[in-house]
Chains A and B, each alone.
Chain A
Amino acid sequence: MVDAGTPRRVHPGTMAVAFLRKAPQNVFAIPVFAGWMSGRGLDWALLIAGVAAAVALFFTWLNWRRFTYAVGPDELVVERGVFSLSRRSIPLERIQDVSIERKPLHRLFGLAEVRIETGGGDADEAVLDSVSLGEAARLRAALRGRHVAAHQAGDEATVTGPHVLPVVFAMTPGRVLLLGLFSFSLVWLAALFGIIQSLDQFVDLGWDQLRDYAGTAREQAQARFSVAAVLMVAGIAIALGVASGVVSTILRDWNFTLRAGEGRFRRTRGLLTRSEVVVAMRRVQLALVQRGPLRGWLGWNALSVQTLGGSNDPSGRQSLAPLAREDEVAQIVSMAGLPPFERLPLRSVDGGHVVRALLRTVPAPLIAIVAAAIFVTPLTLVGLVILPPLIVSALLQRRFHRFALLETSLQVMRGVIVQRDWIVPVDNVQVLTVRQGPLQRALGIASVAIDTAGAKGQGAPDVIDINLPDARELIAGLIAKLD
């Protein structure tokens, strides 16, 4: 075994994975190539294809050869680049997440992708794509400042590590299926249609013919005014939505296992792509409990934590339990060293919140519908049925938006259809902003924005529309605790 400090390359199998991964792109080049080659001989085509493959292989090899990494006593050094060279050294004590991911191609070659996250701006400061399983386990141990015996066999078991931490949460197949049913989404359906459309440009799927059929079908349907046909189409759409939700959830969350101990959580999940993520507990910035529609009413919660820096989640948060009962969530939260979410001390925001919610949600659709009714057809007035749910949701906003400043944490609850609970340790609050727009000034209210590290996009634990004395008290309380 080589000394820990010497630079090494990623596994040679990486070249095969990279080459195969690029293959689909090249398939699309075939029609172009064929068009250009028409009239020339087959041997020419083979020669050119061979040269192209050789060039691609050469560059893949060059990239592989120029990419080295080394774990020193207190830093990880990654060197890369063919023409412009880059050398990045990451102090070991700054590394906060080491995640291991295995896509289907990786599993085929017995490889794993290791991502090192430090909490800087970039999502991934260093990606080692790819190393053998044994090397991945060794790396993770070394990056945590501990060394395991280097002669680990490269089998499936080593991914979970030599000393297995106790399981604190696991999803049974039944629960994954249930989560899939809840994840009903038409987005996937739209994506599917998008793919069909884009494929249509390359391959003639007979889409126009299909459209003709659809046109005929519509005429027939209009002729008979068949309610059954409409219901059937809606039924198919819903069935596809449910199926796509189930499939995507099973692919992502199959065998979801959360282990905890030694100051870290370790999450493994995935059916085809097995991914493993380590979250250091002291890097947890805040906990977020979400209750989606339907599943929230049935008592199911989703727990995620915000960590510094990258996570594979687009939300910038790590899911620790996608579908869990309240007591399971409370157990994981206390394990993370966070105070429990308490409902009793929560205080409502100002009544002006309802006014603003109504003004934000109702006028725009109302005007659009009425305008359409006047200028297009009175039939669009049917659209007014969407207004009562909007109004009810706006009226309920205040009931579900509450906050409390406790001993060590700020707790915020917000959202009617998707309910969210935040637990923000006061020590993790970075910047406070009080903001007041013209309408808020007229109502005597203001919003308090709480900025934390590592959040991306929506979902900050902001307290919106509280009356000014409450805002001042909250700010003064937070400032007093910041030390």
Chain B
Amino acid sequence: MLLPDVPLQPLERGQLNAMRLNGAVFFAALAVGSAIPSYALGRSLDWLPVWAAPALLVLAGLWSVLIAAPRRWSRWGWAWTGRELHVAHGWLTRSHTIVPAIRVQHIDVTQGPVERMFGVATLVLHTAGTAHSEVHLPGVSRDTAETIRDAIREKLSSEPW
């Protein structure tokens, strides 16, 4: 907890499953893709079994789905205080980003196919800043995202910066 004064809300459970699915698909693709080079290597080095690389990648995929995804998911948190949006995430390097509503230039609510499958959406805030001009809040329900969006929209000032 970097800023304990701000009580954070966890993401939807659906986001955890979306992260798991993303990880599983990623490593499955890698495992399939590694089959040909692994076969070639297995032919030239007789001590190396053909299934070594895919098996390693399958293990990594299991680790990603069972351990890494829940750990990352539980590190995400958000809070809408009525004046600013807080987004915290990161397991190894933790970060907590604060976007004042009056600094927001425009707002997106996006929903990819995987997110739609699990009923979550991503709220994207754009500011005039440079390094963090886009702040993403994934894994909230579409209703929540739209509620926050409408709340921020009322705060948007006509003055652009």
Contact = CB atoms under 8 A, between A and B. Distances in A.
Interface of A: 94, 119, 308, 428-438, 441, 446, 449, 451-456, 460, 468, 471-472, 475-476, 479, 482-483
Contacts of A428: 161
A453 B128 contact: yes
A460 B131 contact: yes
B97 A431 contact: yes
A431 B127 contact: yes
B37 interface: no
Contacts of A472: 3-5
Contact of A482 (B93, B96, B102): B102
Given A119-B161, A435-B95, A430 B2 contact: no
Closest 5 CB pairs of A and B: A430-B129, A451-B129, A453-B128, A431-B132, A432-B98
Given A308-B161, A431-B103, A434-B96, A482 B130 contact: no
B53 interface: no
B102 A430 contact: no
Contacts of B92: 437-438
Interface string B77-105: 00000011000000011111111101100
Contacts of B97: 431-434
Contacts of B28: none
Nearest to A438: B92
Contacts of A94: 160
B83 A479 contact: yes
7 contacts: A429-B103, A430-B127, A434-B96, A436-B2, A437-B92, A453-B127, A455-B131
B60 interface: no
Interface in B133-161: 133, 135, 160-161
Contact of A434 (B95, B128, B129, B135): B95
A453 B2 CA distance: 25
A213 to B, nearest CB: 50
B3 A434 contact: yes
B130 A456 contact: yes
A449 B132 CA distance: 10
A5 B30 CA distance: 60
Contacts of B131: 449, 451, 455, 460
B82 to A, nearest CB: 12
A435 B3 CA distance: 11
B103 A430 contact: yes
Nearest to A471: B2
A23 B83 CA distance: 58
Contact of B93 (A435, A453, A456): A435
Contacts of A453: 127-130, 161
A452 B100 CA distance: 13
B104 to A, nearest CB: 9
A429 B99 CA distance: 10
A454 B132 CA distance: 12
Given A472-B3, A483-B83, 4 more contacts: A308-B128, A430-B103, A430-B127, A432-B98
Contacts of A429: 103
Contacts of B102: 482-483
A456 to B, nearest CB: 7
A453 B129 CA distance: 4
A437 to B, nearest CB: 5
A279 B14 CA distance: 49
A431 B135 contact: yes
B158 to A, nearest CB: 11
Contacts of B135: 431
A180 to B, nearest CB: 31
B98 A431 contact: yes
Contact of A436 (B95, B103, B128, B129): B95
